[in-house]
Structure 1
């Protein structure tokens, strides 16, 4: 019988909803987040920014707490994707737009809806992230202030449940959502389990960059999502074969 196990390497927020989506399609989800996320505190400046930029759902909590403290939940928010935009709305922001794409799409959205003379943009990002987006925004004429609101570090050890499932050949697919997290997750996986997974399981990945990491690690069966989104990853996974 075809193994039903699907390892989800996405951390929260996002892990729970992806686990539920995997289960809804008939697969058996196995949680094995590739990252440990540390939150940082954010305070909005006294002169509020003209808008807040969010490139990840990880940045929403810090941004909304800061906006609540400043009584500024009506500040315009621009999110790189639909899921991050929805998290921002659910958290309390009232004016949220989604680029439904990547960083370039976010810059294009800003150019359509935001005027540089209206004030600076606050980019909430992870450590080591958002630098390229900030540069593109500045090239488009915007003033950008970048603040690190979280740090995502690779896990050091894969949980026992995941290793046991791999050893028992119960894993059919592994879902990867970034090149960095894929590299970190593979580095934490014992060598024997790495070789077994690469030989027996498929990988469903969010981008070609992630696929490159896996090919370098010896994976052959890789499916790349049609575009960079968690929904596209689920589409690429498909339903459990009858």
Structure 2
């Protein structure tokens, strides 16, 4: 019988919904988040920004809490991806636009809907992230203030359930959602289990950059999603072959 196990390396937010989608497709999901996310507190400045930029769904909770504190959920929000945009709407923001997963397209959105003279942009991201987007926005004439609202730390060990599934050859697929998380997850996996997994399972990844990390680690069977989105990763996974 074809193994049903699918390891999901995505941290929350997003882990639970991906686990549910994997189960709905007939697979057996195994939660093994590659990163531990630490939230930071954000306070909005007295002079509110003209708009807020979000690079990840990880940033939404801190930003929404800060906006609620000053009753500013009507600030325009520009999200790089659709899921981040939806999380912002779910958190109460009323004016949200998505760049469909393309950071450069977000700059075009800003040029269409915002005027540089109307105030600064608040870019909320993880530690070490958002720097390139901030530079592009500044090149387009905008003043950008960047705030780190979370830090993603690599895990040190793979959980026992995942390790047991690998050793028992019950894993068919591993899902990877970023190059950073792929490198972190592989680094936490003992070499013997890495070799077992690369031989028995395929990887479904969100981008070619992630595929490069896996190829460097010796993986051969890799499927790359057609678009940089969680939905495209699920499309690439497909249904369990009954």
In the TM superposition, what is the alpha-carbon distance from 1:107 to its structure 2 partner?
1.0
In the TM superposition, what is the alpha-carbon distance from 1:112 to its structure 2 partner?
1.4
What's the TM-score, normalizing by structure 1? 0.99
Q: Deviations over 1:84-122 (max 9, x none)?
A: 011001111111111112211211111111111111000
In the TM superposition, what is the alpha-carbon distance from 1:70 to its structure 2 partner?
1.2
CA RMSD of aligned residues (A): 0.6
Name 2:23's counterpart in structure 1: 23
Q: Distance in 1 between matches of 2:48 and 2:70?
A: 9
Partner SS, residue 163 of structure 1: helix
Partner SS, residue 10 of structure 1: coil
Q: Distance in 2 between matches of 1:21 and 1:118?
A: 42
Name 1:223's counterpart in structure 2: 223
Listed as ranges, the gaps of 5+ residues in structure 2 are none
How many residues of Structure 1 are paired with residues of Structure 2 in the alignment? 242
Q: Deviations over 1:69-95 (max 9, x none)?
A: 111000000001110011001111111
In the TM superposition, what is the alpha-carbon distance from 1:227 to its structure 2 partner?
1.1
Q: Distance in 1 between matches of 2:227 and 2:105?
A: 13
Listed as ranges, the gaps of 5+ residues in structure 1 are none
